[in-house]
Structure 1
Amino acid sequence: MEKRIQHIKEALHDAKYKLTPQREVTLKVLLENESDHLSAEDVFMKVKEKYPEIGLATVYRTLELLNELKILDKINFGDGVSRYDLRKEGAEHFHHHLVCISCGSVEEIEEDLLGDVESIVESDFHFKITDHRLTFHGVCKHCTLKVEQATDD
């Protein structure tokens, strides 16, 4: 975790920002809960446990700054709530997600599945792609299994 914080500190410094104690505690919360896709309010509640004097506006500003610097991505899975997802270190593109419409679980796909699609879009439409994100909505294997077991009974 310290290595990632150091890299993020360098990215902030390169963009003329400092890693303040408030930003650092927010980053640590994001790193500790990396697979959870936390909302700003979720991040705030977890940060407040560690840094009680922090305000919600400070957490929001930190999240927006980290989003602008492409350290994290602001995502929405169709439920009207913005969530924050740290970019994987060295990742060329945002990773993809599988969202279960039954239980709400979110699974990440690390592989870049859109290389061929990007090439076609760039050549056929003369559109320079800087990033992409892909979210599949469906039913996860656990929910599918529950339905199958219920129909077998």
Structure 2
Amino acid sequence: MNPIEHIAQQFAAQNYKLTSQREAIVQVLLDHEQDHLSVEEVYMIVKSSYPHLGLATVYRTLELLCDLHIVEKMNFGDGVARYDLRGGVHEHMHHHLICNVCGKLEEIKEDWLLELEHRLEREYGFTVTDHRLDFKGSYNTCKSSGCKREKESEAVS
């Protein structure tokens, strides 16, 4: 089953329709899965196919996708809400490495916390239903040689 069909089933299970406009928004998220797009970025991409689609519709659709647990709304410390598709294969969200110097965002798809979840259930009787972990720091290449973003910010100063 392709991702759109799977998402359409999730919509139907909650008595919603995956309209053509909603499908276009989902397709943008699928096409840009590694980018963690903001509402405005999704809007700018989708409006080329749907010029009459409003920003409010994109916002409402993304919020509905969050409510249906199809996407996760996240903030990586830059004050911008970004949207990340939840993987259908994984039980939990993936994790992120966020560079404080260049702003690079890298995903870790492996679930490193599974053993911790089992321990929490054994020792505390607490069942984890989801988790998200973001690591903030800097890459050695950014610290040692200075990265492109760091050089650009110095040029502006």
Same-fold call, TM > 0.5? yes
- The separation in 1 between residues aligned to 2:116 and 2:144, in whole angstroms, is 32
- Structure 2 unaligned segments of length 5 or more: list them: 148-157
1:54 Cα deviation from its structure 2 partner: 0.4
- The separation in 1 between residues aligned to 2:20 and 2:99, in whole angstroms, is 36
Q: Which residue of 1 aligns with 2:79?
A: 80
Alignment identity in percent? 52
C-alpha RMSD of matched pairs (Å): 1.7
1:147 Cα deviation from its structure 2 partner: 4.1
Q: 1:103-114 maps to which residues of 2 (within 5 A)?
A: 103-114=102-113
1:141 Cα deviation from its structure 2 partner: 4.3
Q: 1:67-146 maps to which residues of 2 (within 5 A)?
A: 67-146=66-145
1:23 Cα deviation from its structure 2 partner: 0.2
Task: Return the letter of the residue paired with 1:74.
Answer: K
- The separation in 1 between residues aligned to 2:76 and 2:6, in whole angstroms, is 28
Q: Which residue of 2 aligns with 1:151?
A: none
Q: Which residue of 2 aligns with 1:24?
A: 23
1:7 maps onto 2:6 in alignment: yes
1:129 Cα deviation from its structure 2 partner: 1.3
TM-score, normalised with respect to structure 2: 0.87
Q: Which residue of 1 aligns with 2:155?
A: none
1:57 maps onto 2:66 in alignment: no
- Structure 1 unaligned segments of length 5 or more: list them: 149-153
- The separation in 2 between residues aligned to 1:139 and 1:130, in whole angstroms, is 30
1:81 Cα deviation from its structure 2 partner: 1.0
- The separation in 1 between residues aligned to 2:140 and 2:86, in whole angstroms, is 26
Aligned partner of residue 83 in structure 1, secondary structure: strand
Q: How many residues align?
A: 147
1:10 Cα deviation from its structure 2 partner: 1.0
